[in-house]
Structure 1
Amino acid sequence: MAKRTDLQMVEVEGFGTVSRPPDSLRTSVFVEVRGEDLKAAREEAAATTRSIIGALERLQIPSLQVRNVNISVSPISERESEPGSTAPPRIIGYEATSRISVVLEGVSIDALRAESSRILEAALSAGANQTGGIRFFLSAPQEAYRAALKASIEDAEKSAGAIAEAARIKLVGWRSVSTAGEEGDGRAFKRAADALDSAATTFPIEPEEIRVTAAVKARFRFAEE
């Protein structure tokens, strides 16, 4: 998309995309326990959480970060009160939920490929009954964004050149350039293996390359030939 903005200027947009293999992963695993007794449900969730953390630590994966984010307990009530009753629903049990955060940063693509399955298998085998899937990302996306930015500037130059050739004008230099946005949240990512459950067994997970996009708006001065 391009337009002449005045008698001495042409404006263009440039787009650039680069692909990079991820070097990091993040996932969360969950423990959900139900019981009639508040203390028993909480203690069972805590014990299972410790078991999962121990199983992950025994994998001895360098740079693996494992931490328990929180344990919460909520009551379970009957679906309905007795007919005609104004009393609140009766509590029939408690649900304790624990979330464990797992992060592995700055490793090779081969390490991600090998360790992602081991992490999920160890957590599920130790008692986790739900996972949030695996999120692969770039730990330092700035280099990839700068490469995409360079490509977007080159694209803008080519577009301006094509306009100059078609309009029989001569470009005489840059007037201005500004970024027009980027894809992602600054920590580019790809999600894989969503919503795995305790029925999962060892399986391969293939991290996909991450695309980082940049866009610029550029203005060039020109002269009539």
Structure 2
Amino acid sequence: MVILATKFIRQFKSREPKPNKLTKKSLRGGFMILAASTLFACNQADIKANANVDTSIDNVENVNQSSTINAKALHSDLLKNVSATVYKDVNCGCCKDWIEHVQNYGLTATSQHPKDLSLFKDRYGVPTEMRSCHTAVTTDGYVFEGHVPAKYVAQFLANPPAQAIGLAVPGMPMGSPGMEYQGQFAPYQIMQINKDGTNQVYADIESADQQL
């Protein structure tokens, strides 16, 4: 009986199905395809994400450029009927660059080169501590001392404060209009000059873009 049972067990084991090599290969192939598909999908997602980021950046830049263009058009419209005489030294290069700056915004400017600029600064009420290299005086008598951005010239003339005679940027701040050099910029203040000889802050300029 034992011998018969042993033979039966051996025969039964011999009939057990052997592992299907084709099935294993198919499984391996399936896993490889799945992995490749997943990797491809991830790469596509990254590409789309990067494209969306690039598009967003482009949109922001386009909006900023559009805003700058619109602002310049507005200020140019305000200055196109404004004329001013600029008193400066004949050899002053930054004065010339500032004149080009305001002319690009529509202001009509002519230059005079007196031997003693301080006489004209005294005449038009520019305090000593507010002085710069040139003095611009409009036909309406408003004074703009130094490198005042055209944007703020237009803003002031659109609604001049009753007590003010004009604006000043004391000294020659690096990066102000006419004082550009290798992209450098130093924050500065635009000062309002009042009729009684006092002055007050009209605007704080913290970046070069703020001047546009």
- TM above 0.5: no
Compare CA radii of gyration and give the structure with the larger one: 2
Bigger relative CO (Cα 8 Å, ≥ 6 apart): 1
TM-score range, shorter chain: under 0.3
